[in-house]
Amino acid sequence: MEQINSRGQALEEGLDVFVSIPFLSGEYLTSNDSFINGTFSTTPISTSTADYVLEAVNAANLPIYANSEWYRYSSDGTTHRAVTHPSSLDNIILIFSTRLGADISVSGIFQELKQLVKGREYTITVNLHQYDILGAVGSLGISRVYNGVQSEVTECAVPAREIILDFTASSTTEVLFLNFSSDVDGDSVNISSISVKAKDYYQLPVVADLTPSGFAKVLRRKYNQSIPRDEGEPA
Protein backbone atom coordinates (compact mmCIF):
# COMPACT_ATOMS: atom_id res chain seq x y z
CA MET A 1 0.00 0.00 0.00
CA GLU A 2 1.39 3.41 -0.93
CA GLN A 3 2.06 5.89 1.86
CA ILE A 4 1.71 9.00 -0.30
CA ASN A 5 -0.83 9.44 -3.04
CA SER A 6 -0.21 11.02 -6.42
CA ARG A 7 -1.12 14.47 -5.07
CA GLY A 8 1.71 14.32 -2.54
CA GLN A 9 -0.55 13.79 0.46
CA ALA A 10 0.40 11.43 3.26
CA LEU A 11 -1.93 8.46 3.65
CA GLU A 12 -0.23 7.00 6.72
CA GLU A 13 0.94 8.38 10.04
CA GLY A 14 4.67 8.65 10.66
CA LEU A 15 5.39 10.87 7.66
CA ASP A 16 4.51 14.12 9.43
CA VAL A 17 7.42 16.58 9.61
CA PHE A 18 6.86 19.92 11.30
CA VAL A 19 9.08 22.85 12.26
CA SER A 20 8.45 24.81 15.47
CA ILE A 21 8.34 28.60 14.97
CA PRO A 22 8.34 30.88 18.07
CA PHE A 23 5.85 33.74 17.98
CA LEU A 24 5.75 36.70 20.41
CA SER A 25 2.47 38.48 21.11
CA GLY A 26 1.00 41.11 23.41
CA GLU A 27 2.89 43.56 25.61
CA TYR A 28 2.87 43.19 29.38
CA LEU A 29 4.64 46.42 30.35
CA THR A 30 3.49 50.03 30.50
CA SER A 31 5.75 52.57 28.73
CA ASN A 32 8.03 49.82 27.51
CA ASP A 33 9.68 52.01 24.86
CA SER A 34 8.14 55.45 25.43
CA PHE A 35 10.37 56.89 28.13
CA ILE A 36 10.07 60.62 28.78
CA ASN A 37 11.16 63.04 31.51
CA GLY A 38 8.02 62.17 33.50
CA THR A 39 8.21 58.36 33.20
CA PHE A 40 9.06 58.12 36.91
CA SER A 41 6.19 60.11 38.38
CA THR A 42 6.38 58.55 41.84
CA THR A 43 8.80 59.41 44.65
CA PRO A 44 12.10 57.51 44.36
CA ILE A 45 12.49 54.60 46.77
CA SER A 46 15.60 54.47 48.95
CA THR A 47 16.69 51.02 50.16
CA SER A 48 18.75 50.35 53.27
CA THR A 49 18.72 46.56 53.78
CA ALA A 50 20.54 43.64 52.20
CA ASP A 51 17.20 42.35 50.90
CA TYR A 52 16.72 45.50 48.82
CA VAL A 53 14.56 43.79 46.18
CA LEU A 54 11.67 42.87 48.48
CA GLU A 55 12.20 46.10 50.41
CA ALA A 56 11.65 48.19 47.25
CA VAL A 57 8.66 46.16 46.03
CA ASN A 58 6.99 46.30 49.45
CA ALA A 59 7.61 50.07 49.67
CA ALA A 60 5.73 50.47 46.38
CA ASN A 61 2.83 48.42 47.79
CA LEU A 62 2.98 45.93 44.94
CA PRO A 63 1.25 43.89 43.73
CA ILE A 64 -1.81 45.98 43.04
CA TYR A 65 -3.14 43.19 40.78
CA ALA A 66 -3.00 45.47 37.75
CA ASN A 67 -0.29 46.69 35.42
CA SER A 68 1.64 49.40 37.30
CA GLU A 69 3.94 52.19 36.15
CA TRP A 70 7.74 52.11 36.41
CA TYR A 71 9.22 52.57 39.88
CA ARG A 72 12.86 53.47 40.63
CA TYR A 73 14.99 52.69 43.63
CA SER A 74 18.58 53.07 44.83
CA SER A 75 20.62 52.30 47.93
CA ASP A 76 21.01 55.03 50.56
CA GLY A 77 24.44 54.10 51.91
CA THR A 78 23.31 52.03 54.90
CA THR A 79 24.04 48.54 53.56
CA HIS A 80 25.08 49.35 49.99
CA ARG A 81 26.91 52.45 48.80
CA ALA A 82 24.71 55.52 48.18
CA VAL A 83 23.97 56.35 44.55
CA THR A 84 21.87 58.76 42.49
CA HIS A 85 18.36 57.55 41.66
CA PRO A 86 17.67 56.39 38.07
CA SER A 87 16.38 59.08 35.74
CA SER A 88 14.36 59.11 32.52
CA LEU A 89 14.75 61.26 29.43
CA ASP A 90 13.29 61.05 25.95
CA ASN A 91 13.63 57.40 24.85
CA ILE A 92 16.08 56.50 27.59
CA ILE A 93 16.31 55.31 31.19
CA LEU A 94 19.65 56.01 32.85
CA ILE A 95 20.79 53.90 35.84
CA PHE A 96 23.92 54.81 37.81
CA SER A 97 26.44 52.85 39.87
CA THR A 98 29.02 53.82 42.50
CA ARG A 99 31.77 51.79 44.13
CA LEU A 100 34.50 52.13 46.75
CA GLY A 101 36.45 48.91 47.18
CA ALA A 102 33.96 46.18 48.05
CA ASP A 103 31.29 48.75 48.89
CA ILE A 104 29.04 48.82 45.82
CA SER A 105 25.69 50.46 45.16
CA VAL A 106 22.44 48.88 43.97
CA SER A 107 20.01 50.77 41.81
CA GLY A 108 17.37 50.06 39.19
CA ILE A 109 13.74 49.93 38.16
CA PHE A 110 10.75 47.62 38.50
CA GLN A 111 7.16 47.27 37.33
CA GLU A 112 4.27 44.90 37.97
CA LEU A 113 3.40 42.96 34.83
CA LYS A 114 -0.09 42.69 33.46
CA GLN A 115 -1.96 39.58 34.51
CA LEU A 116 0.07 36.56 33.41
CA VAL A 117 -1.00 32.97 32.82
CA LYS A 118 0.71 30.64 35.28
CA GLY A 119 2.85 28.10 33.44
CA ARG A 120 2.95 30.12 30.21
CA GLU A 121 6.28 31.13 28.69
CA TYR A 122 7.26 34.80 28.24
CA THR A 123 10.22 36.61 26.69
CA ILE A 124 12.01 39.64 28.19
CA THR A 125 13.88 41.87 25.73
CA VAL A 126 16.05 44.76 26.93
CA ASN A 127 17.62 47.07 24.35
CA LEU A 128 20.58 49.21 25.41
CA HIS A 129 22.29 52.29 24.01
CA GLN A 130 26.07 52.08 23.75
CA TYR A 131 26.91 51.88 27.39
CA ASP A 132 28.51 54.79 29.02
CA ILE A 133 31.55 56.50 30.34
CA LEU A 134 34.57 54.22 30.83
CA GLY A 135 33.43 51.18 28.89
CA ALA A 136 34.01 48.85 31.82
CA VAL A 137 31.97 45.73 32.34
CA GLY A 138 28.95 46.18 34.58
CA SER A 139 26.05 43.85 35.27
CA LEU A 140 22.31 44.16 34.74
CA GLY A 141 20.58 41.74 37.09
CA ILE A 142 17.10 40.65 35.95
CA SER A 143 14.68 38.84 38.26
CA ARG A 144 11.01 38.62 39.20
CA VAL A 145 9.12 38.93 42.45
CA TYR A 146 5.99 36.86 43.06
CA ASN A 147 4.16 35.56 46.13
CA GLY A 148 6.54 37.50 48.37
CA VAL A 149 9.72 35.86 47.06
CA GLN A 150 12.37 36.73 44.49
CA SER A 151 13.18 34.45 41.57
CA GLU A 152 16.69 33.47 40.61
CA VAL A 153 18.65 36.48 39.34
CA THR A 154 20.09 36.35 35.82
CA GLU A 155 23.22 38.51 35.64
CA CYS A 156 23.75 39.96 32.16
CA ALA A 157 27.10 41.54 31.34
CA VAL A 158 27.13 44.98 29.72
CA PRO A 159 28.08 46.66 27.46
CA ALA A 160 25.57 44.91 25.24
CA ARG A 161 23.13 45.92 22.55
CA GLU A 162 20.32 43.53 23.42
CA ILE A 163 19.47 41.12 26.22
CA ILE A 164 16.85 38.38 25.66
CA LEU A 165 15.61 36.09 28.43
CA ASP A 166 12.77 33.56 28.61
CA PHE A 167 10.84 32.69 31.75
CA THR A 168 7.83 30.62 32.72
CA ALA A 169 5.29 32.45 34.88
CA SER A 170 5.08 31.07 38.40
CA SER A 171 2.16 33.33 39.32
CA THR A 172 -0.48 35.45 37.65
CA THR A 173 1.00 38.47 39.43
CA GLU A 174 4.73 39.08 39.02
CA VAL A 175 7.01 42.11 39.26
CA LEU A 176 9.87 42.54 36.78
CA PHE A 177 12.95 43.80 38.63
CA LEU A 178 16.17 45.20 37.08
CA ASN A 179 19.29 46.13 39.05
CA PHE A 180 22.51 47.69 37.73
CA SER A 181 25.97 47.59 39.31
CA SER A 182 29.49 48.06 37.97
CA ASP A 183 33.10 47.43 38.91
CA VAL A 184 33.88 51.06 38.07
CA ASP A 185 32.81 53.99 40.22
CA GLY A 186 30.58 56.46 38.38
CA ASP A 187 29.52 54.04 35.67
CA SER A 188 26.02 53.98 34.16
CA VAL A 189 23.83 52.12 31.69
CA ASN A 190 21.35 53.51 29.17
CA ILE A 191 18.20 51.50 28.45
CA SER A 192 16.19 52.37 25.35
CA SER A 193 13.37 49.81 25.66
CA ILE A 194 12.15 46.91 27.80
CA SER A 195 9.55 44.48 26.51
CA VAL A 196 7.78 41.44 27.95
CA LYS A 197 5.70 39.38 25.50
CA ALA A 198 3.98 36.01 25.58
CA LYS A 199 5.90 33.30 23.71
CA ASP A 200 3.96 30.71 21.74
CA TYR A 201 5.04 28.11 19.22
CA TYR A 202 3.40 27.35 15.91
CA GLN A 203 3.92 24.02 14.19
CA LEU A 204 4.33 24.51 10.44
CA PRO A 205 4.47 21.60 7.99
CA VAL A 206 7.74 21.08 6.13
CA VAL A 207 7.60 21.07 2.35
CA ALA A 208 10.32 18.89 0.80
CA ASP A 209 11.15 19.91 -2.78
CA LEU A 210 12.87 16.87 -4.30
CA THR A 211 12.40 17.89 -7.93
CA PRO A 212 16.14 17.76 -8.82
CA SER A 213 16.11 14.09 -7.80
CA GLY A 214 13.18 13.32 -10.03
CA PHE A 215 10.61 13.32 -7.23
CA ALA A 216 7.57 15.55 -6.88
CA LYS A 217 7.16 18.16 -4.14
CA VAL A 218 5.70 16.44 -1.08
CA LEU A 219 3.76 18.06 1.73
CA ARG A 220 4.34 15.77 4.68
CA ARG A 221 1.60 15.83 7.26
CA LYS A 222 -0.38 13.53 9.50
CA TYR A 223 -2.78 11.12 7.91
CA ASN A 224 -6.20 12.62 7.52
CA GLN A 225 -9.16 10.29 7.15
CA SER A 226 -10.80 12.93 4.98
CA ILE A 227 -8.09 12.69 2.30
CA PRO A 228 -9.61 10.63 -0.51
CA ARG A 229 -7.47 7.91 -2.00
CA ASP A 230 -6.75 7.99 -5.69
CA GLU A 231 -8.86 5.83 -7.92
CA GLY A 232 -7.68 2.24 -7.80
CA GLU A 233 -5.72 2.65 -4.54
CA PRO A 234 -6.40 -0.08 -1.97
CA ALA A 235 -8.34 0.93 1.12
Tens-digit pLDDT profile for residues 112-132: 998 899 999 999 999 998 654
Note the Cα 191 to chain centre separation in Å.
14
Q: Are 107 and 53 in contact (CB under 8 A)?
A: no
| Contact by Cβ (8 Å): 80, 53 | no
Which of 6-10, 193-197, 225-229 has the weakest average pLDDT? Answer: 225-229
Specify the pLDDT at position 132. Answer: 47
Other beta carbons within 10 Å of 39: 20
Q: Determine the pLDDT at residue 17.
A: 64
User: 8 falls in which pLDDT band (50, 70, 90)?
Assistant: low
Task: With beta carbons less than 8 A apart as the criterion, state whether 112 and 64 touch.
Answer: yes
DSSP 8-state assignment for residue 122: E
pLDDT (mean) for 30-50 = 89
Dihedral sign from CA coordinates of 178, 184, 185, 189: negative
Domains of the chain, each with CATH number or no CATH: 1-17+206-235 (no CATH), 22-201 (2.60.120.260)
CA angle 135–180–163, rounded 5-degree value: 75
Measured CA to CA in angstroms, residue 62 lies from 54, 57, 87, 112, 230 at distances of: 10, 6, 21, 7, 64
**In this predicted structure, what is the pLDDT of residue 161?**
85
Average pLDDT of the residues in 53-75: 94
Model confidence, pTM: 0.79
Task: Calculate the average pLDDT of the chain.
Answer: 83
Q: Where are the beta strands (DSSP E) in 2-135?
A: 18-25, 45-47, 71-75, 87-89, 92-96, 99-100, 103-104, 107-112, 121-128
Q: Quick check: 215 pLDDT over 50?
A: no
Cα–Cα distance for residue pair 106/57, rounded to 1 Å: 14
| pLDDT of 43 strictly over 60 | yes
Q: Does the pLDDT of residue 54 top 90, yes or no?
A: yes
Residue-wise pLDDT for 134-183, tens only, equals 555 789 999 999 999 999 999 998 878 899 999 999 999 999 999 999 98
